[in-house]
Chains A and B, each alone.
Chain A
Amino acid sequence: AQKITQTQPGMFVQEKEAVTLDCTYDTSDPSYGLFWYKQPSSGEMIFLIYQGSYDQQNATEGRYSLNFQKARKSANLVISASQLGDSAMYFCAMREGLELVFGQGTRLTINP
């Protein structure tokens, strides 16, 4: 079974709009971490945001926020005021135990 599911293979958004990238996860471990990474066309993986399973508040980092709904096992990434430079692949990942498991990614394209 997939541990991380990203149901949107591709998304197209107008510049300056907010965008939500979906991520659901599957685990029975009470202690886990959720991460989002950005991979631009140049190939590097850029860490964006982290949410711990015991964190009470949703994580925020600048224009990025993580909409953490524990009961639904979802950890959606919200990017506010999108910019052309946000065009990239976005990966959701979960750390349970020692392994970081990635979803298949969502390709986000920001249109001018």
Chain B
Amino acid sequence: DSGVTQTPKHLITATGQRVTLRCSPRSGDLSVYWYQQSLDQGLQFLIQYYNGEERAKGNILERFSAQQFPDLHSELNLSSLELGDSALYFCASSAGDGSPAYEQYFGPGTRLTVT
């Protein structure tokens, strides 16, 4: 158990809908990262928050947004869903602000299926 929690574990929804994925980091970790893992794209970094502020952006679509709240939990919002958004979404957390030395601990993931 990494200490990172994600809810829900599974989510099935229809095209065009909007969903929210939730992540709670390990106790004491200030950074939260979101990743998407799909069969064709592999594991892709989406976005990082550090202590409530956006720190880095990767291959995140404009239909996707995220935020980190004062209690450090984070939410990833996916809107206007398409079939291609079906994937495993991971949240990870680390103690540091993003410098290379800090390992990231991953949550169990949320499997999103868009039908």
Residues on A facing B (Cβ under 8 Å): 31-33, 35, 37, 43-47, 50, 52-53, 91, 95-105
B-side contacts of A44, CB under 8 Å: 2, 106-109
Q: Does A31 lie within 8 Å of B106, measured CB to CB? A: no
Given contacts A102-B42, A102-B43, A104-B42, contact A32 B100 (CB under 8 A): yes
Chain B nearest CB: distance from A103 CB in Å?
Answer: 8
Besides A31-B100, A47-B105, A99-B48, 7 other A-B contacts (C-beta < 8 A): A33-B100, A33-B101, A43-B108, A43-B109, A46-B106, A47-B104, A100-B45
Given contacts A43-B88, A52-B101, A100-B45, contact A37 B56 (CB under 8 A): no
B-side contacts of A101, CB under 8 Å: 45
Chain B nearest CB: distance from A97 CB in Å?
Answer: 8
Q: Does B111 lie within 8 Å of A43, measured CB to CB? A: yes
A-facing mask of B23-66, CB < 8 A → 1, else 0?
A: 00000000001000000001111001000000110100000000
A-facing mask of B77-103, CB < 8 A → 1, else 0?
A: 000000000001010100000101101
Q: Does A50 lie within 8 Å of B103, measured CB to CB? A: yes
B-side contacts of A53, CB under 8 Å: 100
